[in-house]
Amino acid sequence: MNKIKFNIKSNLEILKIRSVRFSKYAEGKARLNLYYMLISSAAGLIISTLMLLPAPFFLAELSPNPARLVFYPVFLAAGIFSAIALKRGLSNSFLIRTMCVLMSALTLGAAILTGVFLSPDSPAVFYPLLIIMLSTAFVVRPIAMDLLTAVMTVLFIILSQRFKTPDIADYDTISATGALMMSWLASYFVYYTRMKDYAAQNELYKLSSTDSLTSLLNKRSGEYNSLRYMRSNGTNEAYTAMMLDLDDFKNVNDMYGHIQGDKILAAFGRELKRAFRSDDILSRTGGDEFFVLLRNIGDKDIIEQKAQSVLKICGVLNETFGTRLGVSMGIVIVPKESPRPLYEQLYKAADVLLYKSKRGGKNKYTISNYTDIKAKV
């Protein structure tokens, strides 16, 4: 009985770990799917064009068939969507997965249309190939693609039996069923292989991009993520940059030792994460310096609340560690209608305001719109 309970508990833990793993890489999978959709669309358009124009000159049985034009709207729509989504940095995992499944459904629907209704006197050559190709084209849970291919294949077989001659219909049934079985095996193998590789790559990226002490982004990764945002969504929405510097932190190290100093930095990093949203960009840029980019926030009242929450963090840490820690901040608001700064300009503007806070007595913040400070940088 105890062994059964242990096995159930172990299986539940495995399922929990897998669930966390798949949700953890949702944004990365979404971006991969957009690339795969763009590549698949381009390949589909090229192959459709080759089958419509040059192929008949090399293979006599492939006569020019305008019916193959039904694939063009599907591939064009998917290609345009994926290109725009990549340019704008879209990362809505559910929406992108839905679009991948929809593209697959429409492609198989077009294959059924051409294979059954527009070419009733010949076997549907492309449908079995498309089942296998589409089952491995995207990073989508196998159950979703397996259900889609099963439903579409049943529909294809029914229509073939209804509208084609018995011999051709039987051929289509056997080839489609065999392709369906192969697609199920391929989808599971490719999906879990991709996820295993992606998990390993993600772990390596995390190690190379994260500050080991505070678990925030390191300077290089913080700059990369900020640039990526500023060049995508940041081109048409307000955002705010905050430069933070712990006041006289060298004195803390001298008085309490570097081990205690590291504990304080680690605690500050944890509390900083709690004070901001999960999609804000937080990085440690130096020993006791931090940079925060708040996405889609340009309201001064909200920014001041955030600054006050950072000041309170130091109060909590002082009570915990018995220190007299303070934090100075330089805050630059980039309004929606403001000229777009380069990252270096934004960073320097926040740095200028930071040292204005330092000169003004420390443990305080200075806020300015980018339009007001840009002349100084």
Cα 267 to Cα 259: distance, rounded to the nearest angstrom:
13
CA-CA distances (angstroms) from residue 319 to 122, 144, 243, 323? Answer: 81, 52, 24, 7
Domains and CATH numbers, the chain: 2-207 (no CATH), 217-376 (3.30.70.270)
pLDDT tens track for 169-198: 999 999 999 999 999 999 888 888 887 777
Record the tokens describing residue 61, joined without a space: 């049985």
> Over 90: is that where the pLDDT of 42 sits?
yes
At 139 the pLDDT is 84
DSSP state of 70: G
- Read off the pLDDT of each residue in 220-239 and give the average, rounded to a whole number: 91
SS3 332: strand
> Over 80: is that where the pLDDT of 111 sits?
yes
At 90 the pLDDT is 83
Residues paired with residue 62 on neighbouring β-strands, in sequence order: none
AA letter at 331? I
At 92 the pLDDT is 84
At 54 the pLDDT is 54
- Strands lying side by side in the sheet with 281-284: 217-218, 281-284, 289-294, 239-247, 326-334, 365-369
Cα 319 to Cα 69: distance, rounded to the nearest angstrom:
72
The pLDDT-based confidence of 377 (bands split at 50, 70, 90) is: low
- Read off the pLDDT of each residue in 259-279 and give the average, rounded to a whole number: 94
* pTM of this structure: 0.57
Q: What is the mean pLDDT of the chain?
A: 86
Record the tokens describing residue 270, joined without a space: 């944890």
Cα 347 to Cα 341: distance, rounded to the nearest angstrom:
9
At 233 the pLDDT is 87
At 69 the pLDDT is 75
- Residue 264's H or E segment, with its range, is helix 258-275
DSSP state of 137: T
- Of the chain, the percentage scoring pLDDT greater than 90 comes to 58
Q: Tell me which of 85-94, 242-251, 262-271 is least confident.
A: 85-94
- Read off the pLDDT of each residue in 112-139 and give the average, rounded to a whole number: 88
Instruction: Write the DSSP assignment of 177-233 as a string of letters.
Output: HHHHHHHHHHHHHHHHHHHHHHHHHHHHHHHHHB-TTTSSEEHHHHHHHHHHHHTTG
Answer yes or no: are the C-beta atoms of 37 and 78 closer than 8 Å: yes
The pLDDT-based confidence of 213 (bands split at 50, 70, 90) is: very high
Instruction: Kindly provide the b/e burial profile for residues 227-252, where b requires at least 16 CB atoms within 10 angstroms of the residue's own CB.
Output: bebbeebbeeebbbbbbbbbbebeeb
**Distance from the Cα of residue 134 to its chain's centroid:** 21
Cα 353 to Cα 328: distance, rounded to the nearest angstrom:
9
- Read off the pLDDT of each residue in 208-234 and give the average, rounded to a whole number: 90
Answer yes or no: are the C-beta atoms of 280 and 293 closer than 8 Å: yes
- Contacts of range 44-52, beta carbons closer than 8 Å, 24 or more positions apart: 44/71, 44/74, 44/75, 44/107, 45/72, 45/75, 45/76, 45/79, 48/72, 48/75
pLDDT tens track for 215-225: 999 999 999 99
